[in-house]
Amino acid sequence: MDPAHGLIEGLLPRCTFPPAGTSVVCGVSGGADSSALVVLARAAGLDVHVVHIDHGLRAGGADEARMVGALANRFGASFRSTTVEIASGPNLEERARAARLAVLGPDALTAHTADDQAETVLLRLIRGAGVDGLGAMRPGPTKPMLGLRRFETERVCRTLGIHWVEDPSNVDPRFWRNRVRSEVLPLLSEIADRDVVPLLVRSAAHARSHDDALTDLLPDGDPQDTRWLRTLPADRARLVLRRWIAAQTGRPISSGATDRVMDVATHRTRGTDLEGGWHLGRTSGRLELRSLG
């Protein structure tokens, strides 16, 4: 058997791709993870549309776009590249993520792996996340590779002779995720005398299970109606609001942001900005979310 074929056939059962024949958009940076995403999505029988986004933050974006275009052509996927403007300044990662989402759309496939999941759990833990936040990313069709490790995506690329891009921003110590990846996870694995990534992934799955159970117990009502919210005990109102906001924005909010949201819901303040470029306001007793992007 061809080594590449055997490797891919061994990885696909651990992925959660949509059914064969589904038309999908894949966000592809040219790194090993997103390059492997194209390979595995095509092997899964999907109609793949590759989108490369140049954030304009470093030189070489055009060369990377050409590399991604050649990859798409090699594996029978369509391709387009687009440039977004992101100014330097605070919350650069959040603003870049929001810009990508605006281009790709909420149903695009991304190349997050189990290693990304473990990093997300730790990042949310040190930000004081609740159970919903510690559940991190939910496996499913839009995140089909959460069951794979980063070394496995690199193995796919090496086996197929795919040259991938090493983004220099991935080692920039200004970004928390990079320090968690290069410093915290190796130290935790050394202390535990084992690879802690599978353990953190398992903890995230437990948190999602508990969060789903809590959601089933929440009262029915309109989470935008502040009069109804104020009839609930504060802890239940917090949970209702956290789940409503997560459903609208695609991500949980921090405990600090939840406190500010409760201030809006209880008429202490009129509005507040949230992570990820959102604003929550109140008009005539109703809460309204709007994107600041």
| Ranges in the chain, pLDDT < 50 | none
Alpha-carbon span 131 to 127, nearest angstrom: 12
What number of other Cβ atoms are within 10 A of residue 261's Cβ?
24
Alpha-carbon span 176 to 124, nearest angstrom: 11
Is residue 74 within 8 A of residue 40, CB to CB? The reply is: no
**CA nearest 236: which of 265, 207, 257?**
265
User: What is the model's pLDDT at position 255?
Assistant: 83
- Tokens at 120, concatenated: 């997300």
Residues 5-23 have pLDDT tens digits of 899 999 999 999 999 999 9
What number of other Cβ atoms are within 10 A of residue 121's Cβ?
24
User: What is the model's pLDDT at position 103?
Assistant: 82
Q: What pTM did the predictor assign? A: 0.84
User: What is the model's pLDDT at position 91?
Assistant: 63
User: What is the model's pLDDT at position 93?
Assistant: 66
- Tokens at 134, concatenated: 């510690």
Is residue 8 within 8 A of residue 18, CB to CB? The reply is: no
